[in-house]
Amino acid sequence: MDKFIEKFTELFDNADIKDLNESTHFKEIDGWCSLIALFLISMADEEYNVSLKRDDILKASTIGDIYHIIQNMT
Amino acid sequence: MNLTFKNKEITGILTVLPSKEVRFEDEMENYPFSVETSLKLKTIMGFEKRRIVEDGVCASDLCIFGLSYLFDNKLLNKEDIDALILVTQTPDYIVPPTSNIIQGRFGLKEDMICMDINQGCTGFVLGLMQAFLLLDQESIHKVVLMNADVLSRKVSRKDRNSNPLIGDGASITIVERSEINNMIYANIKMDGKRAFAIHIPAGGARKPSCPETAIVEMDDIGNMRSQDNLVMKGDEVFLFAQKDVPPMIVSLLDFSNQTKDMVDYFMFHQPNKFMLNKLADKLGIPRDKMPSNVVENLGNSSGVSIPISMTYNLGNRLINERLNLCLAGFGAGLNWASMILEVGNLNFNGMIFF
């Protein structure tokens, strides 16, 4: 989970975005947009070899939710 | 599916781009992006400037303009054209074929083949395949392959998935028999199970256009479009390119007994900068060997983007040298197609503006 949070934080490429945790509501993070969603889909493919869909992201609320979706797909 | 072709070559390429240029900054109000996001999109995706046609301009207009240029400059003779192929997803009419309209406009001979092919981003590779196949016939010596699309007319101005990068254009590629015993290798795959990942719902027989199909509605992420407009499942298409294209290139290199280093340039379809940079990284190819600058300068014109990239990026080099190129198109179908061939010593390789 820690490694995932680290990778998730990197998506924003912004030093002000830190201290994220599994209960963070990611859609409320300053800068969250469909481009970051695309980066997330790319990261899930590259790091975890899973095909995350836009629907999966729409249904999830927290970083933990995304993590569990990815875990279930592996 | 692996294919090989022998003794065929491209002898000239002309691309036709609309004069009208649209800048991302001027259309930003159409999309609910924050300033920060907009700036990111500019650099990462390549949303900058693109070329689109004026209202009412059709694929045949761009092709006729290009052919006239070639005829006027004695770069092509009407009598020599044995086949006219037009690859397009935006024909002038459903009936008659647009290639016949072009044939008629110039009074080309009757003893020839005219063919419209409905393909999108794989259109250049598939068009070349068709040209090569035709050239196996004794009576066919010169094929004029045209790729043309005016997709900007089918994309909603308020669709932030597609509008910021869509472009229009046409290309005319002369393909002939060759004395050089070069071997051309291709690999083509198609997956109809994902057919609707890139889709225009209305306008065909299944759902004819009517006042109802023109109603603009919001989708679940805030984009506005009607059923007459192009709709792309961005995440599916992105993953498709990332997962399916690299293994095809690896397989093609293997089939042709070549390594990545033996290829001078990877001239891929230009969807957006981000996708191409990711593909280059995945394939372990230096980014400067896979040009990704067409979208930010001219837009993504579907199947035409490969020949546009060739004229825009390799201009005089393809006239003076011979380069080993790997072409790859991926998109509507969902189809993906790649080809390795030497291209060079062209009679012409340039760009004109409509």
Q: How far is A71 from chain B (nearest CA, A)?
A: 18
Q: How many residues are given for chain A?
A: 74
- The single residue listed with the structure tokens 């095909």 is A51
Tell me, what's the pLDDT at B110?
98
* CATH code at position B211: 3.40.47.10
**Which residues of B fall within a CB distance of 8 Å from A38?**
234-235, 238, 274
Residue A69 has what pLDDT?
94
| DSSP states along B33-78 | --HHHHHHHHHHH--SEEE-PPTT--HHHHHHHHHHHHHHTTSS-G
Strands B335-344 and B183-190: antiparallel
The count of structural domains within chain B is 1
Q: Is B219's Cβ below 8 Å from some Cβ in A?
A: no
Q: Which domain holds residue B25?
A: 1-354
User: Which token pair is A16?
Assistant: 């002000």
Q: Across the interface, which of B34, B233, B243 has its CB nearest the CB of A45?
A: B243
A49 touches chain B (CB under 8 A): no
The SS3 assignment for B229 reads coil
**Gap between the Cα atoms of B17 and A12, Å rounded:** 36
Q: Smallest Cα–Cα separation from B267: which of B250, B290, B245?
A: B290
How do strand B217-218 and strand B8-17 relate by DSSP bridges? Answer: unpaired
Among left, alpha and beta (phi > 0; psi -120 to 50; other), residue B74 is left
Q: Give the three-state DSSP class for B110.
A: coil
pLDDT bracket for residue A66 (50, 70, 90)? very high
> What pLDDT is stored for residue B32 in this prediction?
74
β-bridge partners, B86: B116, B146
- The end-to-end CA distance of chain B, in Å, is 38
The domain ranges of chain A are 2-11+23-73
Which amino acid does the sequence have at B79?
Answer: E
- Tell me if chain B has a CB within 8 Å of the CB of A33: yes
Q: What is the mean pLDDT of residues A30-55?
A: 90
Predicted local confidence at residue B104, as pLDDT: 98
Given a cut of 80, whether residue A40 has pLDDT beyond it is yes
Strands (E), chain B: 2-6, 8-17, 21-23, 49-51, 83-87, 113-117, 142-149, 169-177, 183-190, 198-199, 217-218, 224-225, 231-232, 265-268, 322-331, 335-344, 349-353
The answer to whether B34 contacts chain A (CB < 8 Å) is yes
Partner-chain contact A41 B235, CB within 8 Å: yes
- Could you identify the residue written with the tokens 């190819």? B285
For residue A34, the model assigns a pLDDT of 82
- What is the reported pLDDT for A4? 93
pLDDT at B318: 98
- pLDDT score of B226: 97
Which residues of chain A are within 8 Å of residue B334 when distances are taken between CB atoms?
A: none
Determine contact: B243 vs chain A, CB below 8 A: yes
3-class SS at B120?
A: coil
Calpha distance B249→B32 (Å, rounded)? 37
The hierarchical CATH code for the domain A2-11+23-73 is: 1.10.1200
Report pLDDT for B28.
83
Residues of chain B with pLDDT under 50: none
Spatial distance between the Cα atoms of B131 and B146, rounded to a whole number of angstroms: 10
ipTM of the complex: 0.86
pLDDT on residue B143: 98
Select the residue of A31, A35, A45 nearest B242 (Cβ to Cβ). Answer: A45
Reading the block at residue B284, the tokens are 């372990």
